[in-house]
């Protein structure tokens, strides 16, 4: 059975910085999260492709074409919000209007995981939204675009600066995607088999030890019988 294909699209890149604020650039945060997400998804039985692996500009049409040509099962686009109102904060995500229920369900699973990370950090859950973005409109698979905080908000930007928080976001993305697509953990299966093997070996050693003890006990009884006869 072919493995599920996840196409990860870190927004912007190269001369296209995306949103900027508080000393941060959207293109860099998006790429960092994408690389972390790809690493986290390696634990699952899936194939992964990124639209860019470094700070280069890739046209939106080329991103969409790459995902379509590859036959991706999910297009996952990572962005960071920006606004003239520096009080705007928190998380939101987008799908194309009128998407099939399958895509809506995928988005719900991802939204639940990611919004919880932001909410637990005291930031806003801005909800599940729709938009006529090119990456959502022209892709031939389920497509979700996430806006991970506001780079223009000092508190959101402070969180995005933290390596541990970005890792928490990537892990939440991976968990949401895995749940939505029904991905199985390869590592978990391998670890379970390792534990089963260790259990079998320990049982064999224990059985051998018991037999040796029984032999020693019988020999001791024979010696005692001779001594006290």
The domain segmentation of the chain, as residue ranges, is: 4-181, 186-229
pLDDT of the residue at 180: 97
At residue 187, the pLDDT reads: 58
CATH class of segment(s) 4-181: alpha beta
Tell me the C-alpha distance between 41 and 223, whole Å.
Answer: 64
Whole-number Å distance between alpha carbons of 144 and 100: 12
**Which pTM does this prediction carry?**
0.81
- At 191 the pLDDT is 65
Q: Are 183 and 50 in contact (CB under 8 A)?
A: no
What was the pLDDT predicted at 85?
98
Residue pair 147/77 in contact by the 8 Å Cβ criterion? no
Residue 188 is predicted with a pLDDT of 53
Q: What is the pLDDT of residue 1?
A: 62
Q: Which residues of the chain have pLDDT under 50?
A: none
Q: What is the pLDDT of residue 193?
A: 65
* Helices 154-161, 163-181: crossing angle, 10 deg rounding: 80
pLDDT at res. 22: 98
Catalytic residues: 147
How far, CA to CA in Å, does 87 sit from each of 91, 114, 149, 228? 13, 20, 11, 93
């Amino acid at each position: 059975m072919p493995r599920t294909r996840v196409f990860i699209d870190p927004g912007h890149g190269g001369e296209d910085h995306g949103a900027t604020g508080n000393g941060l650039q959207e293109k860099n945060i998006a790429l960092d999260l994408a690389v972390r997400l790809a690493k986290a998804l390696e634990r699952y039985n899936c194939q992964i492709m990124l639209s860019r692996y470094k700070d280069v500009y890739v046209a939106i049409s080329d991103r969409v074409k790459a995902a379509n040509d590859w036959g991706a099962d999910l297009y996952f686009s990572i962005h960071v919000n920006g606004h003239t109102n520096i009080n705007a904060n928190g998380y939101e995500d987008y799908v194309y209007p009128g998407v099939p229920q399958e895509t809506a369900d995928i988005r719900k699973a991802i939204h639940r995981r990611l919004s919880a990370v932001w909410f637990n950090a005291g930031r806003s859950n801005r909800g599940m939204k729709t938009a006529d973005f090119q990456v959502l409109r022209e892709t031939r698979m389920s497509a979700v675009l996430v806006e991970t905080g506001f780079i223009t908000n000092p508190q959101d930007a402070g969180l995005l600066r933290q390596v541990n928080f970005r890792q928490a976001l990537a892990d939440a993305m991976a968990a949401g995607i895995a749940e939505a697509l029904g991905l199985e953990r390869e590592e978990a299966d391998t670890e379970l088999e390792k534990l089963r093997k260790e259990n079998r070996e320990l049982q064999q050693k224990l059985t051998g030890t018991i037999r040796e003890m029984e032999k020693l006990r019988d020999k001791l009884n024979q010696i005692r019988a001779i001594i006290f006869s």
